[in-house]
Structure 1
Amino acid sequence: MGKMGGKGLSLARRLYTSRILGLGLGLLCVSVAMFPLNPAPWVWGLMLFNGLLWPHLAYHWSRRVARPYHAEQRNLLVDAFMGGFWVVAMHFNPLPAATTLSMMAMNNVAIGGLRFLLTGTAAQVLGMGVGWLFFNPIVVPETSQIQLYASLPLMCLYPLALGWICYRQAYTLGRQKRELLALSRTDSLTGLLNHGAWKDQLEVEFQRCQRQRQGGAIALIDIDHFKIINDTYGHVAGDIVLRQLSKMLKHNLRATDVAGRYGGDEFCVILPDLPLSSAAAVMEGLRDRFATLGYEQNPTLKVSLSIGLAAFNAGHTDATLWLNDADQALYEAKSTGRNRVICCRDDRPRHELLGSV
């Protein structure tokens, strides 16, 4: 119900503007076509009500009911019904009649597609039938010059306004879709790519390295003794450490590097077109700066990183093997004392003791 209410109110606001414009211009078109027919005073009153008051009444009704979306659908059918009614009242004057029916049909298609177009057409036919009972029309086969000019604003301005409204709606939906996609690929705590999104990027980088015969490196980063940090200082402190590391990754990596949270206390980085030695220097700088950080909330807290690095090589037949090399290097870093960077070369981890315990 909440979703339908929000959707309905949004639709009602959009249609309020277009209805004011469309029925206001329609009033000009219909009144000029009706004037030579000398209509009764009640017909003029109904025209003024439909063209000037009905848009506000329809919007007020939609806002007050429990299901505004369905209320707006009913309002659109009322619009279609009255359009058919005025076509007969104008004695089927060709241009004003065609303009009125086509503008209503365009509105129905924009809102509800083919199904609602057919429903609206039925409402128009019903309106014609009711109009026939009141006016017993004689077909007017010609449109005068002044009637043509009175139809032009509705023909030109209303489609422009409706197109603008549809464009704004499509733009908003596109932006929301992009935001949802970004959220689905982002770790909520750190703002980095999540596990799945980073693995997708790793596959892209692997394919690029194979295709262009160019190198690159990936790094797996583990926060040392993270469980002890949570147990000793609390999970809030643990979250601060995770956010601090993500902040350092964002600020210290190149724009082309891709960082993500692999899971828990483990992070991952893709370093395109970077030799292993250069990648090791970058990761060593990160490890060194992170080890010297202080935490105001917990002055005694000191945190270190273990990092495993692996370069792309021709022996990697898929991205998983490349990642496995980095994982093996990370295992070596953790099992040989932590707080260090270890590189994997030629499918065998070799110690690069670039840091100390």
Structure 2
Amino acid sequence: MDRSTGSGLSFAKRIYLPRCIGLGIGFFCVAAALAPLQTAPWVWVLLVFNGFLWPHLAYQLARLSPVPFKTERRSLLIDSIFGGFWAAAMQFNVLPTVTILAMMAMDNVAAGGMRFFAKGGLAMLAGMGLAMLVFGPGFSPDTNMLQLYACLPMLILYPLALGWVSYRLSIKLAEHKQALRTASRTDSLTRLFNHGYWKDLLQQEFIKCRGGQQRATVALIDLDHFKDINDRHGHLVGDSVLRLLSEQLVRSLRQEDMAGRYGGDEFCVILPNTPPVLASEVMERLRQELGEVRSPLAPELKISLSIGLAGYSPFQLDATHWLKAADEALYQAKQDGRDRVVIAGDAAEAQPNPGS
């Protein structure tokens, strides 16, 4: 999704919890440093707003914005301005200042890398300048025990919260990566392997067979008269027939069998550890079962298949020759009247439909 829409709101949601935790416990860190300075009441009101109200307001601003991502980035810069402001307001008390500014820097790097870190740094400087204009310059290097204890929750809990958010994000990224990997190797209509990925699998199986690790058979499947189906019934019916075939393939094959859409109305299957005779029985059963299936969009339509099979042979020079043998068997099945299974090199074993 575009950053301006769904992903922007997701970004704001990821920032929301760390901001609530960080600014909430940061309140006590800053308050412990301000307490000895006889700070004006309005400063305490501003600190309460920043620590406990601003996180919720920032999220609502992002949620209601037409561009949540940009709004949230602006809110992060406001966080940095506040951070710089409080650093100068507490006269740069060393431990609270380093704690607050380090947490702000972590946010900026996590949100936008080094470029956004640089912007956040300028925002912190702006906040410091504003505070020094209001309160005047000052420096308080000493950190007492109260200030030390007030900073400990910030140093412990905030990195944990940010780490948890980063962990959840890495899990989501891994899931998205897996989804993209799956999409790149599957056909969008049938959810079977696409042409390119199936050809890669065929090459791998050929190497296994060449190494003597197994026997395997390749099947090429063609929907009979598919062009006529599209012409007479429309492409919606044609697509439904393709899905019916893919679903029947999934039901008919073993988990280790690899089915793909070779292109258009042609499908392809690799059957590992299966000689052609046994593969012929599987394909014949598929042909018969699909002949009983009807598309709900065209109940009168009878679906038939022509199937060509080729077992691995040591005389095949590469996977292309193996596939060519299956293609020749498929051509023979069509020549013999369609609606049948033919094994390469043995047209006599073609199995016609008893009703054809």
TM-score normalised per structure 2: 0.91
Q: Aligned residue for 2:308?
A: 308
- Secondary structure, in 3 states, of the residue corresponding to 1:262? strand
- Residues 6-17 of structure 1 aligned to structure 2 (within 5 Å): 6-17=6-17
Q: Structure 2 vs 1, CA of residues 84 and 180 (structure 1 numbering), >3 Å: closer, same or farther? A: same
Q: Distance in 2 between matches of 1:318 and 1:270?
A: 15
Residue 341 of structure 2 is aligned to residue 351 of structure 1: no
CA distance in 1, matches of 2:4, 2:92: 39
**8 Å CA contact retained: 1:32, 1:147:** yes
Do 1:284 and 1:355's aligned partners in 2 also have CA atoms closer than 8 Å? no
CA contact (8 A) 1:223 1:265 kept: yes
The equivalent of 2:187 in structure 1 is: 187
The one-letter code matched in structure 2 to 1:44 is W
Contact 2:4 2:66 in 1 (8 A): no
Percent identity at matched positions? 52
CA distance in 1, matches of 2:329, 2:323: 10
1:39 partner SS: coil
Alpha-carbon distance, 1:215 to partner: 1.7
Matching residue's letter, 1:351: A
Change (3 A) 1:237 1:122: closer
- What's the offset of the Cα at 1:263? 1.7
| C-alpha displacement of 1:24 | 0.8
The equivalent of 1:257 in structure 2 is 257
1:164 aligned partner: 164
Task: Supply the AA of the counterpart residue of 1:214.
Answer: Q
In structure 2, how many angstroms separate the alpha carbons of the residues matched to 1:352 and 1:334? 14
Counterpart residue number, 1:117: 117
1:18-167 to 2 correspondence within 5 Å? 18-167=18-167
Structure 1 position 220, deviation (Å): 0.2
State how far apart, in whole Å, the 2-side matches of 1:19 and 1:203 are. Answer: 52
Change (3 A) 1:298 1:81: closer
1:291 aligns with 2:288: no
**Which residue identity is paired with 2:207?**
Q
8 Å contact kept, 2:259–2:267: yes
CA distance in 2, matches of 1:263, 1:296: 24
Structure-2 separation of matches of 1:167 and 1:260:
36
Tell me the SS of whatever aligns to 1:341: strand
> Partners of 2:181 and 2:305 in 1: how far apart?
31
Residue 298 of structure 1: CA displacement?
A: 4.5
Cα offset, 1:262, TM superposition: 1.3
Cα 1:300/1:40, change in 2 over 3 Å: closer
* Number of aligned residues: 354
CA contact (8 A) 1:217 1:274 kept: yes
Using the alignment, how far apart are the partners of 1:243 and 1:172 within structure 2?
A: 30
State how 1:180-329 maps to structure 2 within 5 Å: 180-294=180-294, 298=298, 300-329=300-329
Shift of 1:299: 5.0
- Structure 2: which amino acid aligns with 1:36? P
Distance 1:294 1:97, change over 3 A: closer
Kindly indicate whether the alpha-carbon contact (under 8 Å) linking 1:261 and 1:268 is maintained by their aligned counterparts in 2: yes
- Which TM-score applies when normalising by structure 1? 0.91
1:300 to 1:51, Cα distance in 2 relative to 1, 3 A: closer
Which residues of structure 1 form unaligned runs of 5+? none
| More displaced stretch, 289-298 vs 152-161 | 289-298
What is the SS of the residue equivalent to 2:352?
Answer: coil
**What amino acid is aligned across from residue 350 of structure 2 in structure 1?**
L
CA contact (8 A) 2:343 2:350 kept: no
Tell me how far apart the structure 1 counterparts of residues 68 and 43 of structure 2 sit (CA, whole Å).
30
Per the TM alignment, residue 296 of structure 1 is displaced from its structure 2 partner at its CA by: 6.0
- C-alpha deviation, 1:174, in angstroms: 2.6
For residues 217-249 of structure 1, the C-alpha deviation after alignment (integer angstroms, 9 at most, x for no partner) is 110011122223333444443333222221111
Stretches of structure 2 that go unaligned for 5 or more consecutive residues are none
**Cα distance in 2 for residues equivalent to 1:339 and 1:232:** 20
**CA 129–211 in structure 1, closer or farther in 2 if over 3 Å, else same:** farther
